[in-house]
Amino acid sequence: DADVTQTPRNRITKTGKRIMLECSQTKGHDRMYWYRQDPGLGLRLIYYSFDVKDINKGEISDGYSVSRQAQAKFSLSLESAIPNQTALYFCATSAGLRASTDTQYFGPGTRLTVL
Amino acid sequence: KQEVTQIPAALSVPEGENLVLNCSFTDSAIYNLQWFRQDPGKGLTSLLLIQSSQREQTSGRLNASLDKSSGRSTLYIAASQPGDSATYLCAVESYQLTFGKGTKLSVIP
């Protein structure tokens, strides 16, 4: 089984709908992240969480919210989806034990299309 | 604000060639530099991590170098194979992980 899972893998929705993307991990990591990837723009950080009680905004948090339900679960919500939120969304985790060696482990991604 | 640039954006080589992918970054205050591989429609897989105090790391046919003072890293792939075809992403860790836009590599049999 994959260490970092995302559901759903694909989603098509309409403008104005509320959408939740879910991420679960079995790596036992404290740190979790949400990114979006757009052609020509690379990966950009939306939100990150260093533990259950710690949530931080990333580079592009407007229009998104998150919930860290447990160490293993981190959800991303789009309260009212708009077409420019069409993108590939990735969840990632890291141990966070030492900054110089902290690598991130990525889920398979969720392809979201907002019509 | 940290910016990461990767050149070239795309590269096509015949099987068996050695190749170099380039990455540059604007702020040398980093904890580490990482190279990832991304296959179409899939997530990222970590290939190599170079700590800020290190000059290079090797894994099999891959060798990554880091020159922090000049803000540059290279990923060297020896004896390329069709299975190496993917997009390679460079990322630097400062207060967060900042990614380049990637180099799309195609290895032609």
pLDDT at B53 over 90: yes
- Write out the DSSP string of A45-60: EEEEEEETTEEEE-TT
Q: Is B93 in contact with A102 (Cβ distance < 8 A)?
A: yes
Q: What is the pLDDT of residue A1?
A: 61
Average pLDDT, chain B: 95
Residues of A in contact with B42 (CB under 8 A): 108-109
Name the more confident of B43 and B41. B43
Say whether residue A4 is in contact with chain B using an 8 A CB cutoff.
yes
Q: What is the pLDDT of residue B95?
A: 80
User: pLDDT-based confidence at B74, cuts 50/70/90?
Assistant: very high
Q: Which of B41, B96, B99 sits opposite A42 (nearest CB)?
A: B99
Min Cα separation A18/chain B (Å)? 24
Q: Do B34 and A108 touch (CB under 8 A)?
A: no
What is the model's pLDDT at position B46? 94
> Omega of the bond prior to A39 within 30 degrees of 0, cis?
no
pLDDT at B65: 97
CA distance A80 to B47: 37
**Is residue A40 within 8 angstroms of chain B, CB to CB?**
yes
Q: What is the per-residue pLDDT across B10-21, written as a single tens digit (0 to 9) for each?
A: 999 999 999 999
Closest in B36, B43, B97 to A108, CB measured: B43
Q: Running DSSP on this structure, what letter comes out for residue B24? A: E
Give the model's confidence band at B42: pLDDT under 50 very low, under 70 low, under 90 confident, else very high. confident
- For residue B107, pLDDT over 70 is answered with yes
Residues lower than pLDDT 50 in chain A: none
Q: How many helices (H) and strands (E) does chain B have?
A: 0, 11
